[in-house]
């Protein structure tokens, strides 16, 4: 399914390229290219060939990691993305960690104390926070904590004058590798607010699914023998209900993490962070067609890979799904 999805995405991007008004070779060569230069680019990229042959060539270039060339930077799009991707990965990982730390304890408490004040309170908070648009939430938190309370920076990834050697492209990791703890603390300071913006909708959706799954497990017959043995509610929730409720939550978390890559366009733009989202937004603003399409393909590939990993982890933690899948494959 992942392979079919990627093939469909690549085909869609190819159709988009063909439907864009203007000469593809002119766009790829740049606005200042001469007619001779445009002809050379058209021949090099195969734009002078029949359409089916162009499509096969496009798929072949994608299989070799060629996402096109940016008109603005004159560099391969993949090389540009390799520079900004680590920053986006840092943001997504931080958001996933914060969101998990918020969602799991809240869902466990709500399930253990169903229909009690703690359960009602967390549900109301989740409904309110989950309904807030990410872009608006980013602006409000930026204004409150950055401008009014001045607890966090408004934008950027590091303070002026604070620098470390770039090894991985991840500011926090590079600071640790350099043994520069003040730079690490500074990078975390800049990372916290955008990570929280991403973590809020992530935590709300994981909480709702995990709570509902936990309640379903707690209401099933499998819990009755455990209750009959006199086990407490905490032990029942943690030792028996949670392991059986993890699979749907992990699958959802994989989908949400993959989806956050698209949402990075808004968050990274608001907070002035260098990442895939900011790169895509700049490419759109500068009408860098091949950078936009190459980034769309890259994001699609990343979404498929993350979802595939989430499915594999789900099979690893749930023997029922694993046995069912292996049995179906064997059949």
- What domains can you pick out in the chain, each with its CATH number? 2-63 (no CATH), 77-150+192-330 (1.10.3720.10)
DSSP class of residue 167? Answer: S
pTM: 0.78
* Distance from C-alpha of 250 to C-alpha of 205, rounded to nearest angstrom: 12
Top mean-pLDDT range of 44-48, 137-141, 262-266, 292-296 = 137-141
* Residue position matching structure tokens 């270039």: 61
**Contact yes or no for 47/54 (Cβ under 8 A):** yes
Q: For the chain, what is the mean pLDDT?
A: 81
Which of the pair, 247 or 92, is modelled with greater confidence?
Answer: 92
What are the tens digits of pLDDT across the range 202-261?
A: 899 999 888 888 888 777 776 667 666 666 666 777 776 777 788 788 888 888 887 787
DSSP class of residue 143? Answer: I
Least confident of 74-83, 128-137, 207-216, 240-249: 240-249
**Which pLDDT belongs to residue 98?**
92
**Contact yes or no for 217/241 (Cβ under 8 A):** yes
The separation between CA 297 and the C-alpha centre of its own chain, rounded to angstroms, equals 14
Which of the pair, 328 or 136, is modelled with greater confidence?
Answer: 136
What are the tens digits of pLDDT across the range 16-47?
A: 777 777 676 776 676 677 778 878 877 776 77
Please give the full DSSP string across 111-151, using - where no structure is assigned: HHTTTSHHHHHHHHHHHHHHTS-HHHHHHHHIIIIIIIS--
**Which pLDDT belongs to residue 72?**
75
* Distance from C-alpha of 257 to C-alpha of 255, rounded to nearest angstrom: 6
* Distance from C-alpha of 265 to C-alpha of 278, rounded to nearest angstrom: 6
* Distance from C-alpha of 168 to C-alpha of 177, rounded to nearest angstrom: 9
Contacts of 151 (CB under 8 A, 6+ apart): 145
What are the tens digits of pLDDT across the range 152-202?
A: 888 888 887 777 888 888 888 888 888 888 888 888 888 889 899 888 988
């Amino acid at each position: 399914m992942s392979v079919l999805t990627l093939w469909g995405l690549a085909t869609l991007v190819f159709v988009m390229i063909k439907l864009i008004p203007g000469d593809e070779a002119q766009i790829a060569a740049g606005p200042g290219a001469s007619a001779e230069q445009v002809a050379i680019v058209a021949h090099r990229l195969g734009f002078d060939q029949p359409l089916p042959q162009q499509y096969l060539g496009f798929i072949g270039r994608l299989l070799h990691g060629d996402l096109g060339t940016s008109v603005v930077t004159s560099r391969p799009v993949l090389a540009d993305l390799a520079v900004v991707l680590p920053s986006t990965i840092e943001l997504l990982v931080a958001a996933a960690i914060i969101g998990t730390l918020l969602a799991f304890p809240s869902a466990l408490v709500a399930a253990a104390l169903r229909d009690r004040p703690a359960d009602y309170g967390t549900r109301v908070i989740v409904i309110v926070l989950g309904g807030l648009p990410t872009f608006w939430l980013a602006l409000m938190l930026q204004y409150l904590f950055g401008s009014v309370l001045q607890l966090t920076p408004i934008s950027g990834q590091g303070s002026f004058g604070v620098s470390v050697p770039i090894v991985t492209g991840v500011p926090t990791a590079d600071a640790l590798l350099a043994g520069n703890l003040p730079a690490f603390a500074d990078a975390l300071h800049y990372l916290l607010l955008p990570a929280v913006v991403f973590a809020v909708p992530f935590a709300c959706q994981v909480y709702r699914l995990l709570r509902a799954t936990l309640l379903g497990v707690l209401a099933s017959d499998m819990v009755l023998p455990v209750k009959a043995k006199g086990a407490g509610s905490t032990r029942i929730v943690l030792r028996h209900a949670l392991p059986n409720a993890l699979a749907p939550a992990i699958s959802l978390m994989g989908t949400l993490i993959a989806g956050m890559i698209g949402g990075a366009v808004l968050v990274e733009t608001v907070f002035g962070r260098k990442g895939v989202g900011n790169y895509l937004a700049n490419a759109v603003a500068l009408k860098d067609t091949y950078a936009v399409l190459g980034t769309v393909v890259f994001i699609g590939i990343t979404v498929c890979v993350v979802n595939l990993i989430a499915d594999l982890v789900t099979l690893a933690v749930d023997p029922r799904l694993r046995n069912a899948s292996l049995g179906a494959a064997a059949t």
